[in-house]
């Protein structure tokens, strides 16, 4: 497991008593603590030793997660591309535009992560097989089938809005499950620093958007 480093900054307030022994005052600068094994106390190490610690290697499960999440995001973009011509409310169109920005940003990060580690980058362009719902034998959590994508594309107005919000909420919940499954592995997966940051960001974004979609669903239902 990744050795966690905790940097504790010594902050001095003006409330120290005048008679305090200067020799007892803590030294300035950061104190670096390396977390021990479960149940063990952390160990104080030098800044040089902290910099020398090698980051954990990425695992096949890490690569599978990023490749799978790329396909997942690609389908989300295919879904949001349907909104502008079908929605009955401007607020849903605005939501889809903001979602596009976050999805493209995360796709760029995932592609860069794979390239930096010499791993293959899957085809996730608009209309790619996975985005269309053609998953073959493997279907990731939250992914829509080709039939479900066709039904969404055929809908319009309020029917489309409700179908889109339900489908995208299901889609986001699947992404959360993918992150949860990655962190549940005990083979060192999910410990790569960049991947951990990226997965945490995806998790946070999905939760925020799920809450927003619940509000939009109420708005659509109230106006129908």
pLDDT per position as a tens digit, 161-206 = 999 999 999 999 999 999 999 999 988 898 898 999 999 999 999 9
pLDDT on residue 20: 47
Nearest CA-CA partner of 69 in 102, 93, 94, 98:
102
Q: CA-CA distance, 84 to 89, in Å (whole number)?
A: 9
* Model confidence pLDDT, tens digit, residues 107-152: 999 999 999 999 999 988 766 545 555 555 467 899 999 999 999 9
State residue 191's pLDDT score: 87
Q: How much of the chain, in percent, has pLDDT values that exceed 70?
A: 73
Q: In this structure, what token pair is assigned to residue 137?
A: 């034998």
**3-class DSSP state of 5:** strand
Q: What is the pLDDT of residues 56-105, one digit of tens each?
A: 789 999 999 999 999 999 999 999 999 999 999 999 999 999 999 999 99
Is the pLDDT score of 42 beyond 80? no
Q: Cβ distance 180 to 141 under 8 Å?
A: no
- How many whole angstroms separate alpha carbon 120 and alpha carbon 34? 34
In angstroms, rounded to a whole number, what is the distance separating the alpha carbons of residues 61 and 178?
Answer: 11
How far is 184 from 86, CA to CA, in rounded Å? 39
CA dist 70 and 64 (Å) reads 10
pTM: 0.74
Who's near 157: CB < 8 A, 6+ residues apart? 86, 87, 88
């Amino acid at each position: 497991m990744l050795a966690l480093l905790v940097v504790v900054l010594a902050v001095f307030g003006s409330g120290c008593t005048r008679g305090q022994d200067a020799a007892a005052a803590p030294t300035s600068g950061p104190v670096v603590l390396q977390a021990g094994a479960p149940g063990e106390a952390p160990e104080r190490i030098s800044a040089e030793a902290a910099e020398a610690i090698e980051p954990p290697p990425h695992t096949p499960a890490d690569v599978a997660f990023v490749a799978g999440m790329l396909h997942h995001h690609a389908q989300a973009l295919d879904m949001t591309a349907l909104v502008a011509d079908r929605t009955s409310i401007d607020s849903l169109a605005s939501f889809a535009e903001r979602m596009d920005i976050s999805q493209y940003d995360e796709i760029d990060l995932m592609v860069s992560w794979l390239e930096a580690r010499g791993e293959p980058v899957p085809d996730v362009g608009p209309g790619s097989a996975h985005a269309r719902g053609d998953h073959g034998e493997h279907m990731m959590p939250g992914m829509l089938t080709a039939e479900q994508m066709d039904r969404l594309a055929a809908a319009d107005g309020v029917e489309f809005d409700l179908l889109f919000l339900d489908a995208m909420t299901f889609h986001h919940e699947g992404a959360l499950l993918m992150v949860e499954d990655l962190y549940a592995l005990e083979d060192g997966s999910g410990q790569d620093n960049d991947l951990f940051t990226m997965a945490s960001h995806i998790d946070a974004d999905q939760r925020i958007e799920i809450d927003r979609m619940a509000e939009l669903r109420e708005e659509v239902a109230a106006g129908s």
